[in-house]
Amino acid sequence: MNGISVITICFNNLTDVQKTCASVDAQTMPPQEHWIINGSTNSDIADWLEHTLQPAYRKWINERDKGIADAFNKGIRKANAPITHLLNAGDIYAGTDVLATVSSFFQIHPTVQWISGNIELIRGGEKVIIGKPFEKGKLYRGMRSVSHPTWFVKKEVYQRVGYFKSEYKIAMDYDMMCRLGDEAYQYLPKTIAIFDDTGVSSTQYLRSLAENKTVYESYFGKSVKLAFWQLRLKLLYYLLQSSIGKWLFLVKKKMGLENW
């Protein structure tokens, strides 16, 4: 079986760390290692890690970092397994067989360098499951339901394409996906993780679109398709904030169109 290094970054959120660790510990196939990259300003997480019995595969770094990208990169560089997975504090696996399934999938497809799957989200109080196969030709559409908590990436890939860029505060995962575009890929039609995204503000959403535009143009140049697609996303976003928009979202969910 292919070993997996799970990487969890955290900041002053002990309850979330405990929730994620419990999910990792419940896997039928344990990870080769589980790195906790703790950049907290308080001692809660460090105290819990150091004074509570932890599985042998759990390792940690307790030191300040320069942000999310820096924390991701610390974990990736520390990883010793051939496959890496970024599972942020608060996120959990959707089942106890996720790591076993992923490991077997890479064994069946040995030339594949990275995979993605489905993710369960809470949107507007409603549970939805989204996920699509990655298509390089549709990068102008942004992440397109290729959610980074579902990515499993071989460590050697990061050594080829580079690590997460700290200049991006929101779109560092989209920037990475643009660089992963030429690497051998497969879609795994399985729900990988559960993530609550109810806290995304309008300011953050609009900033993410702006960063995505900067990222896309840095690799592929100006794009009319990108401009029109982002206009569509902004209109849809504001519509969904209205009372009629929430009703339309429920209709969309019932029709199984969460990915559209």
User: pLDDT, tens digit, for every residue of 191-234?
Assistant: 999 986 655 556 788 899 999 999 999 999 999 999 999 999 88
Give residue 197's pLDDT: 67
Query: What domains, with CATH codes, occur in the chain?
Result: 4-199 (3.90.550.10)
* Tally of CB atoms within 10 A around 218: 11
Please provide the distance, in angstroms rounded to a whole number, between the alpha carbons at the two ends of the chain: 35
CB 150 within 8 A of CB 195: no
Cα–Cα distance for residue pair 98/111, rounded to 1 Å: 20
pLDDT at 237: 78
Residues with pLDDT less than 50, the chain: none
Beta bridge partners of 187: 116
Distance CA 12, CA 255 (A): 39
Output the pTM of the full model. 0.91
What gap in Å lies between CA 21 and CA 17, rounded to an integer?
A: 6
DSSP string, 41-94: SSSHHHHHHHHS---TTEEEEES--SSHHHHHHHHHHH--SSEEEE--TT-EES
